Amino acid sequence: MARRALDAHAVLVFSVDREKGAAYLRAAAGPPAIRRDTVVPLVADPISCVLERGQPFYATDLRRLLWSLPYYGEETRIGTLLAVPVSQGGTVTAVLIADRLESQAFAAAEPALLAAFAELVAEALVQARASASREELGRDFEAVYGFSQQLATQEDVAAVCRALLDSSRQIVPLEGGAITLSEDGPSRYTLRETFGWAKLFEGRAVGAAEKTWAAWALGGAEDRYLLDDLGTGTERMPVLVFDEETRRGESLLILPLKSGVRALGAVVLTARRGVFNVTAVHVLKILANQAAGLLSAIQLKEAEKHKALRDPLTGLANRRAFKDALKQSLAREDRHEGRLALVMLDLDHFKKLNDTHGHPAGDAALRGTAEVLRRLLRGGDVAARYGGEEFVMLLPGSDEAGAVRFADRLRAALEANTVEFAEARLRVTGSLGVATWPGDATDAEGLLAAADRALYAAKGGGRNRVVCARTLPAPTS
């Protein structure tokens, strides 16, 4: 999963044996060229770099090291390598390595992602040792092994939650259960996956301040909460939501899903009394920990994907995301003989604004422009920052007249807008080009080119105006 998540050439785990002064390759996902029996002295790179500092080690363009890595049986020219420590109780007991053929890779969220996987490895090592030392538990770990495998192949949050709850049900007979996840920050959690009596409340969002066991456990520091009899005395509190039936003669087990110190949510299970014995709790805890590691890795990756499609300055879609949206939209309109329009905007004399007020002021004006766009767009429309001070809008279903009306409103709104920056009140106008499909072009590239020609004509015509591609002479190629 780590290899897939990081799009790596190979991902490997070396365990560290200080007495023998060597690191042993324990697991690897990658090409056949990997020597499965690799043993590396602890003083050799890249292991030594991690051990010496107890910190992640990042290498790119280091040919001496990267072109002769000890775990490749044939010459493999690696461009980037990332190695992170796997720590247990403050000691580095293993090293997790990911590499890629490209140089300058792994520069964004990948280090954090690999670190999250390192936590998973640490967890697995703890469990493996515990099971080796206790035979009875060993059998339970065998039982859990299949579920772990099933969990590990899930790629989205919903599937992990489902697999976790399903697996829990197969380990112990449950009366009800739910996986809760804090969605937008720690103040709310959602009942993502439910079973038994909890099914009634699936999808509900609950405030973390509500008086329920699930909310209470999210705020706590323990790694498990076991209540043996929900029905008795002072311990009467609803489990999941305030309006649920509270007269339960059951036991409750809550296992927070944690990644580092961050609480992602919890596994909340109820069953007949006595079901949550020591072994059951132990095994369920392993599953919960694995799921937590996976969930945090998936969340990181999704956040990264989201970031890769956004322009960081304005928060609008970026060029790549826009092209994808345009292609999808064209395909959709094509199916029902629909239509769509593109509006391209380039700010006027923007270089001068930068020169007069400075680049940060220019950035503020760009953000201000994005605000105006957001204000005028309707749901379903897409706006993107297409280049430096160039924006583009996609209006699905719109005809030329509608698009021109929109472009005119946008032109006027920009002209009327002022952006305050430091002492200055910035004003900028824009020139706009409008093109429609299928009137002006047959495909995405053609449509963008038509809008661009119209924009160019708007500049030539004096700026701060709207021009339609249809009114231009046909392009000569």
Least gap, CB of 388 to Mg ion (angstroms): 6
Rg, the chain, Cα only: 29
Per CB under 6 A, the list member of 345, 347, 373, 384 interacting with ligand GH3 is: 347
- Facing residues of 435 across strands? 342
Distance CA 277, CA 172 (A): 10
Per CB under 6 A, the list member of 354, 367, 397, 417 interacting with ligand GH3 is: 354
**Structural contact between residues 233 and 275, judged by C-beta atoms closer than 8 angstroms:** no
Span from 36-44, 201-209, 226-234, 348-356 in contact with Mg ion (CB under 5 A): 348-356
Q: Which of the residues 372 through 401 are near Mg ion (CB under 5 A)?
A: 390
Q: By CB under 6 A, tell whether 349 contacts ligand GH3.
A: yes
Per CB under 5 A, the list member of 175, 346, 381, 452 interacting with Mg ion is: 346
Kindly tell me which of 146 and 460 has the beta carbon lying closer to ligand GH3. 460
Q: By CB under 6 A, tell whether 422 contacts ligand GH3.
A: no
Distance CA 268, CA 206 (A): 14
Nearest alpha carbon to residue 285 among 240, 224, 341? 224
Give the pair of three-digit tokens for residue 377.
Answer: 């767009």
* Partner from ligand GH3, Mg ion, none contacting 171, C-beta within 5 to 8 A by type: none
Distance CA 218, CA 446 (A): 54
Torsional sign, CA 193, 195, 198, 202: positive
**Structural contact between residues 116 and 101, judged by C-beta atoms closer than 8 angstroms:** no
**Structural contact between residues 15 and 121, judged by C-beta atoms closer than 8 angstroms:** no
Per CB under 5 A, the list member of 117, 350, 406, 437 interacting with Mg ion is: 350
**Structural contact between residues 122 and 112, judged by C-beta atoms closer than 8 angstroms:** no
Catalytic positions: 389
**Contact code string over 153-192 relative to Mg ion, x by CB under 5 A:** ----------------------------------------
Kindly tell me which of 463 and 465 has the beta carbon lying closer to ligand GH3. 463
Span from 206-214, 241-249, 272-280, 362-370 in contact with ligand GH3 (CB under 6 A): 362-370
The number of residues that bind ligand GH3 (CB under 6 A) is 15
Per CB under 6 A, the list member of 346, 381, 440, 452 interacting with ligand GH3 is: 346
Q: Which of the residues 386 through 405 are near ligand GH3 (CB under 6 A)?
A: 388-389
Per CB under 6 A, the list member of 310, 427, 459, 465 interacting with ligand GH3 is: 459
Task: Please state whether beta strands 10-17 and 22-29 pair in parallel, antiparallel, or not at all (unpaired).
Answer: antiparallel
The DSSP secondary-structure symbol of 310 reads: B
Give the pair of three-digit tokens for residue 127.
Answer: 């469990």
Nearest alpha carbon to residue 455 among 472, 439, 445, 467? 467
Q: By CB under 6 A, tell whether 465 contacts ligand GH3.
A: no
Nearest alpha carbon to residue 368 among 393, 342, 343, 389? 389
Q: By CB under 6 A, tell whether 452 contacts ligand GH3.
A: no
- Sites of contact with ligand GH3 (CB under 6 A): 346-351, 354, 359, 362-363, 366, 388-389, 459, 463
- Sites of contact with Mg ion (CB under 5 A): 346-347, 350, 390
